[in-house]
Structure 1
Amino acid sequence: MIDSARRRLLLSSALIGGLLVVQGGQAAYAGEIGDAVKSLAGGSIVREKVSLKELGLTQPITLNSSDARREIYLPVPANVKLIDPSLVVDGHYIRADGGRTTYTMALDGNVVAARSPDDAEGEADVSIGVDGAPRPSGFVRLGLAWASVTGRDDLCNEDRSIGNLLQISPNSYFEYGYDPSGVTDIASVWSALPRKVTLLVASDALEGGSYDAAWRLGVALQRAGKDVQVIALPKPGSEIDTTGLKIPPALMNVPAFAALAKGGKVALANEAEVGALLLLGAPQVRADVAVSDPALAARLKTAFDAVGAELAQADPAATAALDALATRKDSLLNAAEAKTVDVRTLAGRPVIAVSPDAAAAATGLFDGLWRKTALVRGMVLNTVGKPNAGSNSVALGSLDQSAGNLDVVARGDWTTTFDLGSSLGEGKVPSSMTINVAAAPGATETSPVASVYLNDYLLGAKRLTADGKAESISVDVPSYALLPRNTVRVQFQRQPAGGNCEVPQAFPAAVLPNSRIWLEAAPAAQNFSGIVARLADDSEVIVPQGWRNSATETLPTLISVADAAGISPSKAVLSLGENNAAIAPKKPFLAFDVPVAGAADTVKVAGQHVSIADKDGKVFYDVAGLDHVAVLQAVTGATEPGISYRTVGEGPRLDKSFQLGQGDVAVVGEAGILAAVNSNGTPAYENGAKGANNAPFTLSKLLEGSFWERHFSWVATAVLGLAFLLLLLLARRARKRRGGDQA
C-alpha cells in the first residue's frame, strides 16, 4: 500500500512538473510571437533589388570600337541613407581582334573597378560595394567604359575593330536597403519607384470615383516611363501563390500563418489570412501607389482585426504591436483626407496614397515640372497644371528642363519628347522646327555636322562653323513623321582626331533652349494624329458600366489606350455608358466598347468576327475566329471626333505603353500595334503646312545657308527677273539719249 501510494505521488509530481515545463515553453513561445509581430509591423528595413531589365534595358548593353561609354541611372530614395548597397554586374567580353582591351566601372563618377583581360573571351562578372551616402538626385550613376587598341604603337591606324566588345547582361542588378522612417516626403518616394509600379485599389468592384482616380494615376505613371500593375486587395476565396513567402517560425502555430506556410497556390479561407499576407508584406499586397478611399481603409482594418484576434489568442503581447500599427496616423488603414496626397505605410513600406478627389491634380504634380516641389509628407492639391502658352510656337527649353550641353568625341545625341496636344496646346501640331545649336572648335579641321531627327526620321542637317556661336537649323515637319508622342533628337558628329595620332578629346556642343517648335492648326480629324491633337485638352473617356466591376482586368487596358491616345489625365472626364446604348459625345472622345451615335463606322466587330471597309463601303478585310486582339478606329461623322476601341473575342491584356502611328484603323494585341491602315487607301504624306515658312522672318535668316538652299530657285528667278528689267530700263534710257543727241 505504501509503495503503491509512493508510486502515485511520484507519478503525479512528474506530470505536474511536465505540465509546468510545457506551460513554461508555451509562455516563452508566446513571447516569441509578440516579438515576431513587432518585427513584421515595426518598420523593419526595406530591401529592394532592381535589375537592368526592370529598368527597361531588356537587351544586353554592348560596348565596342576603340572607345565606348555608357551611363545608367539606378533609382534610389532621394536624400535617404542606403543600407548595405551592392551592385552585381554580369558581363561577357570577346577579343577576336586581339590588341589591348580595358574596361572600367564607375559609380557617381568614381572608378571602382578596372580590368584588362588577355584571353580571347571570358566572363566580366564584377561585384561592387556601393557607398551608402544619401543621393539628393535620387539616382546612383553607373558608368561603363570600354577601350580597345588593335593598331601598332608607332603607326596612326584607323581603328574599326568589330571583334572586341563587352556585353553587360540585363540580369545585372543593384540591391540595397533603407530605413522607411527616413523617407519623409513624396518626392523621395517617387524617386524610388521601380520600373514596374504596383497600383493598389480596394477591390475588383470599385465606386465610380475610385475607378476614375485609378485610371488617371495609371496614365500619369505610364507617361513617367513606368509599367503599371493594378492589384486589388485579396479577399476570402482569392488564390494566392505563396511560393517563396518567408514566415517566422514563431508564427507557424497561428492558423492564418500556418495556412500560408503550405506553399504553392493557396485559396484564402478568411480575412485573417488576408491580414497575415499584409503583415508578411507578400508581393500580392505590396503597393507603391494606392487609391486611398474609405473602402480600402475598411477592408484593411477588417483584415488586421481578423488576424489580430488569432494572434491575441496565441499571445496577448502581439495585440499591442498590431494596435500600434493600426493607430499610426501614417498607416494606410486610415483613408486619405479630401484632396490629399500623402506618404503612408503598409507593412512597414512607404506608399504614395492619393484620395480619389485629388487624382486629377496629382497627375499634374507627378509631371516633371512640379514633382520635385513635393518635399513634404502630405499635400492638399486644389489645382496643379501648366500655364497655357497661347502662342504659335513652343520653346524646346520648356519641354525639357535638363541642360542641352554635350561633350562630343565622335558622336553625341540630345533628345527630348513631347505629346501632341498636352505639350503643344489643343488642336495644334508642329509645322516646322528651328533648332539653335552651338559647338566649340575641335582638334581637326573637319567641321562637325548637326542632324535633326523626329521619331527617327531625318528632317535636316547642317555642317557647322563650330566657332562657339549660335547657329540655326530650320526644318519642315511632315505629317508622316508625327506620332501622338514624339521624340526630337539632335545628333552631333565630328572627326575625333586628325594626323599625328592625337588622342581623341571631347569638345562641347549644345542645343540652345531658345530652339522652337512652330505650330499650326491640326489637319482635319481623319486619322489618329489629327484626333490625338484634339484629345489632350477637354475630352471624354467613355467605358461601359460593367468595367467598374472588374477593375483589375479593365484598368490596364484603359490606362494603356488612354496613354497612347494622348488623353490628358487631369482634364478629361470619365463617363459610364450603358451597355449597347449609343452615346453622343459632347467633346472629343475615347470610347471603349460603346457605340457612338452618328459615327461613320468602317469597322464592324461581332464577337470574334471583324470586317473593315474603305471610304466607299467596300470591305477589304473580313475575318472570323480572331481572339485576344482589339480594333482601334479614328471615328468621324459623329458630333465630335474621337477614337473607338472594340474588343475582339476575349480581348488583349494591355499593360504596357504603345504608340498609335499613321492611319485611322489599327489592330492591337498584347505586343502593341499589330497592323495599321488608312481605310481610305491614301497615306497622308503632307499635312498642308507651310512648314518652316510659318516661322516669322528675321534678318538673321539671311545668314543661314539652309535659307538660301531652300529658296534658291525662286531667289535665282527673282534675281534674273530683276536683271532683265534692269537691262530693259538701261536700254530704254540709252535710246532716249540717242534720240536727244540726234535732235
Structure 2
Amino acid sequence: MKLHRVLPAAALAALCLLPGWGTAQQPTQPTLRPATQMTPANVPPQTAVFKPADSAGVWVPRTITFADLGFTEPVVLGYPDTIKEIYLPVPPGVNLNGASLQLDGSYVRADGGRTSLVYTIDNAPVQAFGYTADRGDASVQLPIDGRPRPSGYIKLNIDWRTAVARENTCADARTPGNILRIEPSSRFVFQYDGSAVRDLTTAWGALPPNPVIQIPSNNVSPEVYDTAWRVGVALERAGKRPRIRTADGSGTAPAPVQPVAPGAPPVTASNEPDIIIAGPGSNQQIGSKQIGLANVGNRPVIVVAPDAGPQAAGIFSQIWTQVAAGPTLTVNAVDTPKNTDSNAVSLQYLGAKPTSFDVLAHADWNASFDIGSVAADGKGPGTLVIDVAAAPSAARTPPVVSVFMNDVLLGAKEMEANGKRERIVAPVPRYALQTRNVIRVSFVRQLASDRCRETPEPYPVSVLASSHMLLDKIDPSSDFTGLMSKFSDGGTLLVPQSHLADASGTLPRVIRLAAGTGLSPSKAKFQPVAQGSNPKVSGPYLAVDVIPDGYAEGVKPEQDRLFLAGTKDRPLLDVRGLNRVGILEVTGSGNDIGAVYRTLGQQPPEMNKPIQLSGGNLAVMGNNGLRTEVNTRDPSGQGAMKEAQPGLFERGYWWLMPIILVALFVGLLVFASRMRRRKAMSGDR
C-alpha cells in the first residue's frame, strides 16, 4: 500500500476522533439540574414513601380546630411548663393529602435570653425558630406528611425554651416572663383517602369531632328515634359532639361556624352525613339488625338499621370497636364482659393504657372511664390503687407522685425511685364522682441538683398494669351519683310522642341528658309517652318533658317560672321571666329512683357543652350546659362531711389503744384472781 494513499485516510479519521478525545480529557463538570419547585406549606412532601397512591379515590376534606379537641382556652407555655404534646386525630391507617397545621400564636419576652421554639411531628423536628423581640406574632403553618397512621393520631410536640447567660451554675435561670400563647382557632386541615375506608372500625375512627347523624325526616318512627339517641350517646362517650340533620332538609339546623383567628375567613363545619339511620323515607336501606358501610357523595358513611340501635351502641363501645372489622355486620348480641371479681376492677378493663415516659420536671398520665362501667350490683368506685415505678435520678430530692380524680387530690407520696413497684392507695370520696371521670397521675421531679454540680436530665417513670380500683358498697341515695350507679344495669328513657314529630329539634337535648346522667345506650329501654299521660315506671328512669306516675315534684315550673318549695310560709326560690333554661331533678328512692327534665320558657336550652353531674339532686341547664347543681335535701353538705369525718386514729387518739389494752389486761387479772378465791373458798367448805 502506498503511503500517499494511507495518510489522507488516517488524517480524516483523526479529525473525526478529536472532539470525543478532547471531551474525555477535560475534567468532569457537575451536571446542572433545573431548580426544584418548593412544596407549598399546605402540601405534604411527595416522596417515594409518602406519595399518595395513584389509585386513591376521592379525597375527603377535614378541618379540625383546637376548640374541637377541647382546648376552649389558649394553650400557654412558660416556665416551668415549656413543653406541650397535642394529639391530632386522623383516620387510622389511611393515606392523607394536603395536610397542614395552622397555628395561630403570639409571644411575649420580658426576661430576654436566647428563646427558641421547636415543633416536632411524630418525634421528627419540622420547624425551629429563634425570637429576640419583646413581643410578636408566632403563627406558623406546619406541613405534615401523608403517610398512614395506624394509631389514628399525629403527635405534635411544642418546645418553647429560653437559655439565659449565667455567671455561675447556681444563678437563677428561670424565665417566667417569656410566654407563648396558641389560640383555640388553630386548625388542622387535611384530606383522607375515602376509598381506603373499608371496614366499620376505620369508619368509626374517621368520624370528625362533630359528626352528623342523618335521620329520614323530622317526623320519625319510634324505632328511628330510639336508634338515633343510642348512637348519639355512643358518640358522646367517644368524646364527640353529634349533630342531627334530616334527609329531606326539614328541621335541619345550619352548620356551626368554627372559631378562626381575627381577619381569617370563617370556616363552616360540613353538613354532610357521617352516620345514616335507615328507615322509611331514607335513601339508604340495610337489613334488620345490621350496621353497614356505604358510599354517599364519594364519602364513607356508616348506615345503621332502625332496629339496630342497641347493637350499634354496643359494638362501637370502647371494648368492642376493633371487632367491627367488616363492611357490613349483623350483630345478634353484644354486651360488656362481666367482672368475675365484684370487689375490684383493673384500670386496663376501663380502657386505661399503662405506659412509661420520661419526666424532667412535671408530667401527667391520664385515663377516663364512665361511672356505668364500674357501678354494678350496688357497688361503685371506693379506692384507687395506683402502682408506679421510677428510676433514680442524679438529684437527691425524691420525685413526688400525686393521684387526682376529676381534679380532686386523692393521695400523694414521696417516691423511693429505685426502679421497683410503689403503691399509692387513695380512697375515692363520693363527691368526686361524675358521669365521666378522669384519673390523673402526676409526677413531679425537683430540677435543682445538689450544690448545682449536676445538670437536670429526664428520667423514666411507669404506671404499671397492676393498677386497679376497689369497689365499695354505695348506699342508695336520691342524687345524681346514686342514679348513675342504677343506670349501669339498664333503665328507661321516657319522651313524649310529640318529640318524634320534631326529631331534629329534640334529639340533641335527649342525647345530652342521657349522656350526662349515665344512661346506658345499649341496655336502656325506650318508651314514647302519649301527650298528657303519666306512665308507671319500674326501676331507674330518665323522663324528658314527661311526668311519671307518683312523681313527687319538689320543683314546680310554670312556663317561665321556677318555684322551689321551702318552709310552709316561705318558698326556697320563686323566679319568673326565665327562657332557654331547663330543670333536671332526681326523685324517688331505692330501685325506683329517676330524673325528670322540664323546659322553662318558650325555647329550650341548646346545651352546647357536655353535662357533668355529681352529688346534687337538682340541676339547672342553660345554653352552655350545666349552669348550677344543688342538693336541696342536704344543702349544707352534711353527707360529704360525714364521709370525710376522720376516724379514731386519724384524730390523733391512737394513744388510747395501749391504755385500753392495759385496762383490759388488768381487768382479766382481777377477774381471774376473784375466780381463784371463789374456788378456794368453796374447797375449804
- 1:598–1:637: 8 Å Cα contact kept in structure 2? no
Aligned partner letter, 2:383: S
Q: What whole-Å deviation, never above 9, does each CA across 1:459-489 have from its counterpart, x for those lacking one?
A: 2212121212222222222222222222222
Question: 1:186 aligns to what?
Answer: 200
Q: Describe how 1:458-497 pairs up with structure 2 within 5 A.
A: 458-497=409-448
Aligned-partner Cα distance in 1 for 2:82–2:289: 49
Q: Distance in 2 between matches of 1:506 and 1:124?
A: 28
Of residues 202-211 and 371-380 in structure 1, the stretch that sits farther from structure 2 once superposed is 371-380
d(CA) in 2 for partners of 1:294 and 1:146?
Answer: 56
Say if 2:624 is the partner of 1:668: no
Q: 2:68 aligns with which of 38, 51, 54?
A: 54
2:643 aligned with 1:657 = no
Which residue of structure 2 aligns with residue 546 of structure 1?
Answer: 498
Question: Residue by residue, what CA displacement relative to the aligned partner does 1:546-594 show, whole Å, maximum 9, x if unpaired?
Answer: 1001011000000000001000000001101112211111120000111
1:405 aligns with 2:359: no
- How many residue pairs end up in the alignment? 606
Equivalent-residue separation in structure 2 for 1:674 and 1:615 (angstroms): 25
Q: Does structure 1 conserve the Cα–Cα contact (< 8 Å) formed by 2:380 and 2:474?
A: yes
How many angstroms does 1:682 deviate by?
A: 3.6
Separation in structure 2 between the aligned mates of residue 618 and residue 642 of structure 1, nearest angstrom: 27
Q: Which runs of 5+ in 2 are unaligned?
A: 1-55, 258-267, 677-685
Amino acid in the other structure paired with 1:365 = I
Matches within 5 A, 1:482-631: 482-498=433-449, 499-500=451-452, 502-614=454-566, 619-631=571-583
Aligned partner of 2:125 in structure 1 is: 111
Change (3 A) 1:235 1:658: closer
- Percent identity, aligned pairs only? 35
Residue 373 of structure 1 pairs with residue 323 of structure 2? yes
| SS of match in other structure, 2:470 | strand
* 1:429 and 2:372 aligned: no
- The 5 A counterparts of 1:265-276 are none
| Alpha-carbon distance in structure 2 between the residues aligned to 1:242 and 1:66 | 37
Note the C-alpha offset of 1:635: 0.8
Partner of 2:406: 455
Cα pair distance change 1:240/1:730, threshold 3 Å: closer
Compared CA separation, residues 384 and 683, structure 1 to 2 (3 A): farther
Partner Cα separation in structure 2 for residue 234 and residue 338 of structure 1:
23
- CA–CA distance in structure 1, aligned partners of residues 210 and 379 of structure 2: 33
> What does residue range 247-266 of structure 1 map to in structure 2 within 5 Å?
none
Shift of 1:690: 8.4
- Flag structure 1 segments of 5+ consecutive residues without an equivalent: 1-41, 244-281, 298-333, 694-706, 737-743
TM-score by length of 1: 0.76
Shift of 1:356: 1.9
Find the aligned partners of 2:619 and 2:251 in 1 and give their Cα distance. Answer: 39
Aligned to 1:361: 311
The 10-residue stretch of structure 1 (643-652 or 282-291) with the greater mean CA deviation from structure 2: 282-291
Secondary structure, counterpart of 1:133 in structure 2:
coil
Match of 1:85 in 2: 99
- Specify the alignment match of 1:127 in structure 2: 141
Shift of 1:199: 0.9
Decide which moves more: 499-508 or 608-617. Answer: 608-617
Please identify, of 682-691 and 595-604, the stretch whose mean Cα deviation from structure 2 is larger.
682-691
Which shifted more, 476-485 or 90-99?
Answer: 476-485
User: CA shift at 1:667, angstroms?
Assistant: 1.1
Task: Name the residue aligned to 1:24.
Answer: none
Residues 82 and 615 of structure 1: CA distance in aligned 2, closer, same or farther (over 3 Å): farther
CA distance in 2, matches of 1:153, 1:105: 30
Q: Distance in 1 between matches of 2:497 and 2:294?
A: 31
Paired AA for residue 551 in structure 1: A
By percentage of residues, which structure has more helix?
Answer: 1
CA deviation string 1:656-687 (max 9, x = no partner): 32111322111111112222222224444547
**Paired residues of 1:448 and 1:495 also in contact (CA < 8 A):** yes
Describe how 1:333-352 pairs up with structure 2 within 5 A. Answer: 334-352=284-302
> For 1:147-196, what per-residue CA distance to the aligned partner results, in whole angstroms no more than 9, with x for missing partners?
11235153323433221011122222222223311221222222222111
**CA distance, structure 1, for counterparts of residue 424 and residue 348 of structure 2:** 16
* Other-structure match for 2:35: none
Q: Give the counterpart letter for 2:365 in structure 1.
A: W
Q: How has the CA–CA distance of structure 1 residues 557 and 187 changed in structure 2, closer, same or farther, with 3 Å as cutoff?
A: same
Amino acid at match of 1:491: S
Q: 1:138 corresponds to which residue?
A: 152
Within the candidate set 229, 234, 248, 2:243 is matched to: 229
Q: Name the residue aligned to 2:52.
A: none
Query: How much does 1:216 deviate?
Result: 0.3
Report if aligned partners of 2:244, 2:252 keep a CA contact under 8 Å in 1.
Answer: no
Structure 2 SS opposite 1:295: coil
Deviation at 1:630, TM superposition (A): 0.8
The question of whether the paired residues in 2 share the 8 Å contact of 1:479 and 1:686 is answered with no
Residue type of the alignment partner of 2:432:
A
Cα RMSD, aligned residues only: 3.2
